């Protein structure tokens, strides 16, 4: 049996697949933006001097790192409405799932980044009369953030790929558009190949952008 | 201890730093034991002692980087409470007390100039023009005006330590603390840092200096104190402490360090 890859069919699917990209990007970057804010808050709570705050942050991190993102989105989309008494938009559910999931990982990235800054930096800034907030804002955080960039990039790539699972709740993202297209043309091989290529384009662009950002930031290190 | 020898009659009202029966523990380790010490404005006090004797801990108590548990501590007319309970007044004290560390602790993400202007801008509320002028003047004074736009890691150790001194001076402090400022330096760079400190002493800056540079101590100090296991066991003008130590422990310590 001869096996032929139909390039023409592959290329023909592109216009349709592209309609999924805005949703993929919206859910990934929307979720990651919120996840970053969650990560800063819980990452700092995790090293707070107040023990119950530390405990709260640890619990959040363990719960959302220890459960699959698919289960999280199913819980949000199908489970939460029963509590809230109204349906949740699938895109909102997707963004929320990426936010709480990436937020847990980013909390650990933030904690690690802040803890990696030498004690002397804090001591020097406090000894100059800076408040603890100023010391964090002007001295600790800028250095910690730079060290966090590679790990944040990693998490970004993971979260972008995680959005592919959200076809199960009917979000019109990349995988979902592929499935819809295959339902009429039956070119599973070519279409999923193109879907994979499009993910690769997104994740490689992100890697590249971060590498440039990192290089720019290296001057001061 | 050696009251008849101290050059400066010290009473708490005239002192810029005053420690009364100060005690500090790290867990079960009793690091500072009933320390009584007064530093008068303009005085250069050099603290010597063996490794682990509590020299760093002593000067770090003065700007609240370490908490103490018992006794009283006044700095620049303000009281620093035990167990780090000073709140706002701690920041006020730190604003008036500069510190120079063994490892420089410059901010690596900021240029040399930005290292120096940060605190004047954020704490003193200077305009960026005022802060720049101050920074340029101070960098000139420590001899590195031409490096202002570089980053700390692009400088030699001696240059970095001089930037650290300029950074502390930018707050126009009433007191400067030095914790072994030359111990991390290559030998050929020690002189340039000591020169800056010598100059500072001549201009009348009040200084508490932990150092192993006995030549510098002898030349610049108004008073030398020797700490042994958390206690001041000897103090006096440098020629007395160095040439005529009364305490046997001081004699042992000096004969060990002066040999090298
Ligand atoms: N953060 C800390 N926790 C526990 N013990 C400490 C801490 N800092 C210092 N110590 C201990 O306190 C004692 C005094 O330390 P300190 O750093 O003041 O000594 P030092 O005289 O400055 O020594 P060196 O010449 O080595 O710098 C030492 O026994 C040290 O191990
Ligand atoms: Mg020390």
pLDDT tens digits, one per residue of B66-94: 999 999 999 998 999 988 888 788 999 99
pLDDT band at A217 (very low <50, low <70, confident <90, very high): low
Q: Are strands B78-80 and B97-100 parallel, antiparallel or unpaired?
A: unpaired
CATH code of the region B17-258: 3.40.50.300
Closest by Cβ to B108, choosing from A128, A138, A221: A221
Using an 8 Å CB-CB cutoff, list chain A residues near B110: 220
Q: How far apart are CA B77 and CA B98, in angstroms?
A: 16
**CB-based burial label for A7 (10 Å; 0-12, 13-18, 19+):** exposed
Q: Residue ranges per domain, chain B?
A: 17-258
A89 touches chain B (CB under 8 A): no
pLDDT at B12: 54
Residues with CB under 6 A from ligand 1: B 26, 29, 31, 49, 51-57
Atom of ligand 1 nearest to the CA of B49: 21
Distance between terminal CA atoms of chain A? 59
Q: Are A124 and B168 in contact (CB under 8 A)?
A: no
**B110–A220 C-beta distance less than 8 A:** yes
pLDDT at A214: 79
For the cut 80, the answer to whether the pLDDT of residue A15 exceeds it is yes
Q: Residue ranges per domain, chain A?
A: 23-171
- ipTM, two decimals: 0.91
C-alpha to C-alpha distances, A33 to A37, B98, B165, nearest whole angstrom: 7, 40, 41
Q: Are B38 and B11 in contact (CB under 8 A)?
A: yes
For the cut 70, the answer to whether the pLDDT of residue B7 exceeds it is no
pTM reported for the whole predicted model: 0.89
For residues B12-22, give the mean pLDDT. Answer: 87
* Fold classified for A23-171: MetI-like fold (1.10.3720)
Distance from CA of B184 to the nearest CA of A (A): 14
pLDDT at A218: 56
């Amino acid at each position: 049996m001869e096996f032929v890859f139909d390039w023409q069919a592959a290329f023909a699917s592109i216009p349709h697949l592209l309609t999924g990209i805005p949703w993929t990007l919206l859910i990934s970057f929307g979720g990651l933006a919120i996840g970053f804010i969650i990560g800063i808050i819980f990452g700092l709570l995790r090293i707070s001097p107040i023990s119950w705050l530390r405990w709260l942050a640890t619990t959040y991190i363990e719960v959302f790192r220890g459960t699959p993102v698919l289960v999280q989105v199913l819980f949000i989309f199908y489970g939460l409405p029963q509590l809230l008494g109204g349906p949740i938009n699938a895109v909102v559910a997707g963004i929320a799932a990426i936010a709480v999931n990436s937020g847990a990982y980013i909390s650990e990235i933030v904690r690690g980044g802040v803890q990696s800054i030498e004690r002397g930096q804090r001591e020097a800034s406090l000894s100059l009369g800076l408040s603890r907030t100023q010391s964090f804002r002007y001295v600790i955080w800028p250095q910690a953030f730079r060290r966090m960039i590679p790990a944040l990039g990693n998490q970004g790539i993971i979260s972008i790929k995680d959005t592919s699972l959200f076809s199960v709740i009917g979000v019109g993202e990349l995988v979902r558009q592929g499935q819809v297209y295959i339902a009429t043309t039956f070119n599973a091989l070519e279409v999923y190949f193109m879907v994979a290529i499009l993910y690769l384009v997104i994740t490689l662009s992100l890697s590249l952008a971060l590498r440039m950002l990192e290089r720019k930031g290296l001057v001061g290190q | 201890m050696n009251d008849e020898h101290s050059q400066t009659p010290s009473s708490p009202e005239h002192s810029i730093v005053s420690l009364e029966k100060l005690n500090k523990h790290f867990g079960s380790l009793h690091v500072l034991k009933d320390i009584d010490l007064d530093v008068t404005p303009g005085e250069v006090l050099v603290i010597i002692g063996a490794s682990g004797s509590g020299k760093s801990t002593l000067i770090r108590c003065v700007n609240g980087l370490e908490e103490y548990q018992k006794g009283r501590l006044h700095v620049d007319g303000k009281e620093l409470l035990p167990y780090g309970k000073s709140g706002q007044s701690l920041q006020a004290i730190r604003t008036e007390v500069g510190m120079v560390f063994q490892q420089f602790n410059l901010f690596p993400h900021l240029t040399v100039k930005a290292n120096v202007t940060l605190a004047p801008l954020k704490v003193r509320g200077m305009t960026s023009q005022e802060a720049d002028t101050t920074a340029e003047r101070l960098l000139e004074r420590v001899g590195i005006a031409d490096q202002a736009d570089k980053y700390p890691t692009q400088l030699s150790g001696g240059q970095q330590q001089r930037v650290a001194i300029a950074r502390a001076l930018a707050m126009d402090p009433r007191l400067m603390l030095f914790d072994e400022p030359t111990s991390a330096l290559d030998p050929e760079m020690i002189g340039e840092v000591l020169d800056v400190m010598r100059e500072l002493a001549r201009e009348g800056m009040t200084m508490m200096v932990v150092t192993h540079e006995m030549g510098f101590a002898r030349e610049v100090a108004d008073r030398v104190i020797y700490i042994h296991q958390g206690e001041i066991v000897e103090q006096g003008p440098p020629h007395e402490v160095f040439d005529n130590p009364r305490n046997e422990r001081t004699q042992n310590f000096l004969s060990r360090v002066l040999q090298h």
